[in-house]
């Protein structure tokens, strides 16, 4: 943080990082078949990231398998909704153990985004909202100053989170995934993750 209160240094916007919301968690917990779910993220018509989420014998924990093969037991927190209309689900961040609505697959390390630190909340991952700490030019400040009468001018940016899709059986989207894989293989960037172990894992397609 600079002396004038504005952000400086390496910056990683959470809108650019794949996030894991709680809807796959709810599906896993409510599935009477106790099947694992394949969760995947696409970008520009390419399959980019994936993980497998499965139930455990502990109702307050799910098992997450990453592309690297690493497995993580992620805790669950439940909070009653107002007027007894249901229960809200939260992940317990594996690092700070605080209830979070989202976890993120990448973390900021210096100027780089890395995936070897596992799932984290946006605070532990060192991520910021795109509109957080955004520099406002002097001309813009002076232009809008008469309307704000001394109050700090804030210009929000639209939030477009990178959310996934999830299926209990990858065969349900096999044709689409194979098309995406072919497109990705044709122009895969060096170091891009290989999702075949998650897509073709027999445990993800076991019969009911």
Q: Which residues on adjacent β-strands are paired with residue 79?
A: 88
Residue 63 lies in a domain: yes
Q: Is residue 1 part of a domain?
A: no
Is 52 inside any structural domain? yes
Task: Identify which has the larger pLDDT, 105 or 204.
Answer: 105
Asked whether residue 184 carries a pLDDT value surpassing 60, the answer given is no
Mean predicted confidence (pLDDT) in 52-60: 96
Residue 21 lies in a domain: yes
Any domain includes 203: no
Domains held by the chain: number: 1
- CA distances (Å), origin 177, targets 10, 41, 65: 34, 11, 19
The residue behind tokens 């390419």 is 46
Instruction: Determine the pLDDT at residue 175.
Output: 77
Confidence at residue 8, expressed as pLDDT on a 0 to 100 scale: 55
Pairing of strands 46-55, 37-43: antiparallel
Give the Cα separation of 174 and 123 in Å (integer): 35
**Average pLDDT for 77-87:** 89
Exposure on the CB side of residue 171, measured as CA atoms within 13 A? 8
Residue 166 · residue 39 · CB < 8 Å? yes
Phi, psi of 165 (to 5 degrees): -120, 165
Answer whether 25's CB lies under 8 Å from 164's CB: no
* Residue that wins the pLDDT comparison between 17 and 202: 17
Average pLDDT over residues 3-9: 51
Domain presence at residue 6: no
User: How far is CA 95 from its chain centroid?
Assistant: 15
Q: What is the pLDDT of residue 206?
A: 43
Position 191 in a domain? no
Domain that holds residue 111: 14-186
Residue 152, in any domain of the structure:
yes
4: pLDDT confidence band, cut at 50, 70 and 90? very low
User: With 80 as the cut, is the pLDDT of residue 174 above it?
Assistant: no
Question: What pTM, to 2 d.p., does this model score?
Answer: 0.73
């Amino acid at each position: 943080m600079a002396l004038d209160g504005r952000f400086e240094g390496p910056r990683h916007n959470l809108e650019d990082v794949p996030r894991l919301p709680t809807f796959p968690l709810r599906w896993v917990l409510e599935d009477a078949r106790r099947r694992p779910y394949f969760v995947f993220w696409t970008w520009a018509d390419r399959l980019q990231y994936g993980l497998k989420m499965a139930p455990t014998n502990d109702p307050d924990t799910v098992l997450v398998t990453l592309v690297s093969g690493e497995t993580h037991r992620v805790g669950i927190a439940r909070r009653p909704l107002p007027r007894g209309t249901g229960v809200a689900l939260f992940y317990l961040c594996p690092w700070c153990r605080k209830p979070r609505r989202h976890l993120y697959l990448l973390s900021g390390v210096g100027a780089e985004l890395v995936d070897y630190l596992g799932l984290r909340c946006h605070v532990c991952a060192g991520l910021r909202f795109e509109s957080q700490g955004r520099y406002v030019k002097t001309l813009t400040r002076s232009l809008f100053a008469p309307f704000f009468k001394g109050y700090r001018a804030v210009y929000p940016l639209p939030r477009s989170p990178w959310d996934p899709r999830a299926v209990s059986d990858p065969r349900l989207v096999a044709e689409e995934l194979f098309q995406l894989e072919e497109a990705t293989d044709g122009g895969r960037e060096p170091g891009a993750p290989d999702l075949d172990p998650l897509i073709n894992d027999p445990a993800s397609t076991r019969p009911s």
